[in-house]
Structure 1
Amino acid sequence: MLAAEQGRTWGYGSPAALTCYALGLTGLGAWLLIERRMGEEALIPLRLFRAAPFSLSALAGAALGAAMLGTMMTLPLYYQIVRGASPTRSGLMMLPLMAGLVLASALSGRVIARSGRYKAFFVTGLALVAVAALALSPLLDTDVPLIAVMGLAAVLGLGLGSSMQPLTLAVQAAAPVRDMGVATSAATFTRQLGGTAGIAGCVAVVFGRTGEIGDSSAMTASFAGSFAAAVRPVFLLVAILAAAGFLMALLIKELPLHPTTGPRARATEGITR
């Protein structure tokens, strides 16, 4: 994140940026070695990732997290800087997206509870996110009707809400029942890690692009127009991330949901032994 934030000033290939990349890779490598050495006592046992449904669900969740937080960081800035909304009004203009997210999450949960089927929700949801973000990208300008932007944001919210919980269920179903707790934590961790990377990437795109516009012959354009031009590639990036998650979601095998909880399963194992 530091390299993404400071890269335009430092240069993305500068010694400072390369040091950040090296520290990140070193930390990741050290974490993998320690988790492997800890075996069953690891925070996230690496054996869980040997199951393709688990790995694919976690990666699709990371892509979803990047798309979600990238959107939620960028869209309020568009409302404030490009459309001149106050911070309070900008928050109110985010309500369609949040309403779509909450509604889809509640409805998908009810249907899954009755049917036990969950794959269709995250496949459809990721497709909706990709299509809505792709449609939003060219609309993020100074003179497009706000109702069109907020309507597509609502569709994007429906996609996010349809995907988040079902992807967590896919991770839980792919793990042994005694590991349900750690599997849920791993799904949340990878989604948050993806979100962190998504925010860093979106910051780099927005401010890198704003700098390019400011240094070119477009200096005569307003800052609002320049920022709008910088925001549009972010939603192309969101669409690409969601499309990648959609392709991974198609490969996920839908497994039956566990009929019991992790603690109850461990208690049963203890009684059996």
Structure 2
Amino acid sequence: MTATATRPTDTPPDGALSHRQILTILSGLVLGMFLAALDQTIVSTAIKTIGNDLNDLSAQAWVTTAFLITSTIAAPLFGKLSDIYGRKRLFMLAIVIFVIGSALCGLAQSMYELAAFRAFQGIGAGGIMPLALAVIGDIIPPRERARYQGYMMAVFASASVLGPVLGGLLSGTDSFLGAAGWRWIFYINVPIAAFALVVIAKVLHLDHVRRERRIDWWGSVLLAVGLVPLLVVAEQGQSWGWASAGSFACYFTGAAGIALFIWVQHRMGDDALLPLRLFRSSTFSVASAQVTIIGMAMFGGLSVIPLYLQIVKGASPTKSGLLLLPLVAGLMLASLASGQLVARTGRYKIFPVVGSVLMVIGMGLLILIGADTPLWQTDIYMAVFGIGLGLNMQSLVLAMQNAVPAKDMGVASASSTFFRSIGGTLGTAIFLSVLFSLAGTKISHEYTKAASDPSFLAAAKAHPDQLTALHQHLGAGLDDTSFLNGLAKPLSHPFFAGFSAAGDVVFAIVAILLLGAIVLSTRLKEVPLRMVSGNQARSEAETAAAAASNAPRPAADAAGAGQDAAAGPATDDTAPRAGSGSDQARG
């Protein structure tokens, strides 16, 4: 392997940047991350409007699935390529792909066109999020990095929650500047992403270290072969049937693809898309597992809570998004506060531990909500869950980055995004499947209990037409709950109570799952945070290498070095270790 480096003329010799320079760069990174995270969820509340406008509501699932699949698979590929070719050009390429994909989505004339363009857009989104974190790792030392990554994680989570709100607002507008309101869900990305592109082009100057390595194309292909069937069945399994022939074909293909992917990663060594040596670090392995669990809880929980607010509390999609603001506020405050504390103390392990405990408590409290629970209580429970989530997010990313050498910063950052996306997809699919599988039984049980309730009997007698409509809709499934708005309260209340009970079961499962996050967080090894950034570490290493090559060596030493070289490289157990050198190699 060979490496060449070029240093921008306006970069300080030691690779350090001023606080003002960091904030300027951060503005471009945050804009890109905000848009990429926003587009993961913004379509969810607009999809029915889009399907009706394009006359193909049956194909709606592929619009969200296509984006999810390509963004998940693109993340590790962009991370690895950025370690080889440099962050800036890959980050700008990701933004360009995202902008083009957004514009094409706005122009789509059919649902299948929109799904294809969303897949293309997802490639860019999959690069934006991990590379933004990797750039921060390049320019800021780990101890100070926590402060800035706290901002970014708060933006990411806030965008994920605010997406449905904006989607509902824009899709509810019939026309704006001659285009249907839903098309502006995608058009609005174009100027904002273009501005982020200009900012990055002008202010982001990183040392470019070109490493001549093989590109793991086979790993990329096999990762797609392994993940695409599993992500598809995760999204479509409920409608297909989890034991159907199509689902089993996806299980088999996915398992075979992942097995072959792991084999190829072993064969590729350091050139692998996801080098297996990284998992020899217990910190990296434990943090990866915990990120996956947190992703399942975050996206799984966020998929059930809005349904409770919409169906049981009667909130519109837009209002249900606004009602999640206590969760967002807790998350942002915790993420920012933990970043400040890590920067001051240099300790980070305590935050995933406390955060996981608070997430369990928050989910445990959400088990208590029912049809008659006042919203202020639900707000408190969501805030507790949000605080726990905020304490976890940036701390785990920091742990993963700090556990690997600076040369693997892109892979480590991409891994956090990758495992969180995998967890989120699985969590959403599994928990929604459990919710709707149980809802029918729970609702029927509540109506059986209500059959002896005097108020229910009186309402049924007074409104026989409503009772007939209720039986008809219950027999047709839960695809449309709008009929509940026209029922007398005693007739609709058992439905709300049954749906709440099904949601409580999901919250209980999530709480049990999060117990695993507590166990993992206690096993997370706290590696001391380095005081130099990735750029500074490379700069110091280059300076040391140049000084060593220019220093005169005695003949005896030169001969001894030659004998050592002939004997082969020293192993990790016999090679001398220098603490400062080891610290500088990690960023």
Q: TM-score, normalised by structure 1?
A: 0.91
Q: Secondary structure at the match of 1:138?
A: coil
Which one of the candidate residues 237, 246, 257 is aligned to 1:27?
257
Q: Following superposition of structure 1 onto structure 2, how do residues 140-151 of structure 1 map, counting pairs within 5 Å?
A: 141-151=370-380
Residue by residue over 1:158-191, the C-alpha shift from the partner in whole angstroms, topping out at 9 and shown as x without a partner, is 0000110011111122212332232121122111
Is 2:432 the counterpart of 1:203?
A: yes
Contact in 2 for aligned 1:178/1:265 (Cα 8 Å): no
SS in 2 for 1:265: helix
Kindly indicate whether the alpha-carbon contact (under 8 Å) linking 1:172 and 1:183 is maintained by their aligned counterparts in 2.
yes
CA shift digits 1:87-143 (9 cap, x unpaired): 22211110000000000000000111111100111110011001110121121x110
1:171 to 400, 405, 413: 400
Q: Secondary structure at the match of 2:367?
A: helix
Distance 2:362 2:380 in 1: 9
Segments of structure 2 that go 5 or more residues without pairing to the other structure are: 1-230, 449-492, 547-587
**Structure-1 residue corresponding to 2:532:** 260
Quote how far apart the aligned CAs of 1:235 are.
0.9
What aligned pairs does 1:102-121 form with structure 2 within 5 A after superposition?
A: 102-121=332-351
**Equivalent residue number for residue 386 of structure 2:** 157
> 1:255 Cα deviation (Å)?
0.8
- The amino acid across from 2:531 in the alignment is P
| 8 A contact 2:367–2:507 mirrored in 1 | yes
Q: 1:224 aligns with which of 479, 493, 496?
A: 496
Are residues 8 and 40 of structure 1, via their aligned partners in 2, closer, same or farther at CA, if it must alter by over 3 Å? closer
Matched, 1:91 2:321: yes
Q: How has the CA–CA distance of structure 1 residues 239 and 78 changed in structure 2, closer, same or farther, with 3 Å as cutoff? A: same
- What is the percentage of aligned positions where both structures have the same residue? 43
1:34-92 deviations in whole A, cap 9, x for unaligned?
22222212222110001111100110111111111111111111100111111222111
Gaps of 5+ in 1: none
Structure 1 range deviating more: 42-51 or 149-158 = 42-51
Q: Deviations over 1:185-230 (max 9, x none)?
A: 112211121111111111211121124446x555567432332122
Contact residue 313 and residue 371 of structure 2 kept, 8 A:
yes
The residue type equivalent to 2:393 in the other structure is M
1:65 paired residue number:
295
What is the one-letter code of the residue matched to 1:225?
A
Amino acid corresponding to residue 44 of structure 1 in structure 2? L
> Using the alignment, how far apart are the partners of 1:43 and 1:259 within structure 2?
28
> Any idea what SS the aligned residue of 2:322 has?
helix
- Aligned residue for 2:261, secondary structure, equals helix
1:119-138 map, 5 Å: 119-138=349-368
Q: With structure 2 as the length reference, what TM-score do the two structures score?
A: 0.44
| Letter aligned with residue 207 of structure 1 | F
Higher helix share: 1
CA 263–167 in structure 1, closer or farther in 2 if over 3 Å, else same = same
Give the number of the structure whose alpha-carbon radius of gyration is greater: 2
Partner Cα distance (1:146, 1:99) in 2: 16
The C-alpha deviation readout for 1:11-44, integer Å capped at 9, x for no partner, is 4333222212112212211221222222212222
Bigger CA drift: 38-47 or 78-87? 38-47
> What's the counterpart of residue 273 of structure 2?
43
CA distance in 2, matches of 1:82, 1:60: 32
Question: Runs of 4 or more off by more than 6 Å in structure 1?
Answer: none
Q: Is the alpha carbon distance of 1:5 and 1:213 closer, same or farther for their aligned partners in structure 2, counting shifts above 3 Å?
A: farther
The letter of the residue matching 2:301 is T
8 Å CA contact 1:126, 1:160 repeated in 2 = yes
Q: Is the 8 A contact 2:234 2:425 kept in 1?
A: no
Tell me if 1:236 matches 2:508.
yes
